Structure 1
Amino acid sequence: MTYIMSINQRYPHKFMISRNTDNIWMTELLPGMLFISRKVILIEIIYLILNYT
């Protein structure tokens, strides 16, 4: 199962990458964490970079 997250006006505070499993976690200033697969998060990062300007 893959979780897809849409970030509208919120940006993750910190990205954590597990070296053992290659899982990527995003933490925010709000409580909670969200697991996203590596391919999905890379697409999100590229999207955020392109739309940041």
Structure 2
Amino acid sequence: MIQGVNNSLPTDQQKNTAIFICQLLSNLYQPINLFRRGLTLLNLVKFRLNGGFSQ
């Protein structure tokens, strides 16, 4: 056993904090992903409106 390391299970507060952080990071990622998709769609629409490859 490593000296100074506690091998016990996490407390309820630590467990709830970890769950909260994981959910927060997941929720923050989703709008970024949608924003990137929105830009891709916007670029495709602009490309199509400008005549596509015909120019």
Q: Report the TM-score when normalising by structure 2.
A: 0.32
Structure with greater strand percent: 1
Greater C-alpha radius of gyration? 2
Structure with greater helix percent: 2
Q: With CA pairs under 8 Å and 6+ residues apart, which has the higher RCO, 1 or 2?
A: 1
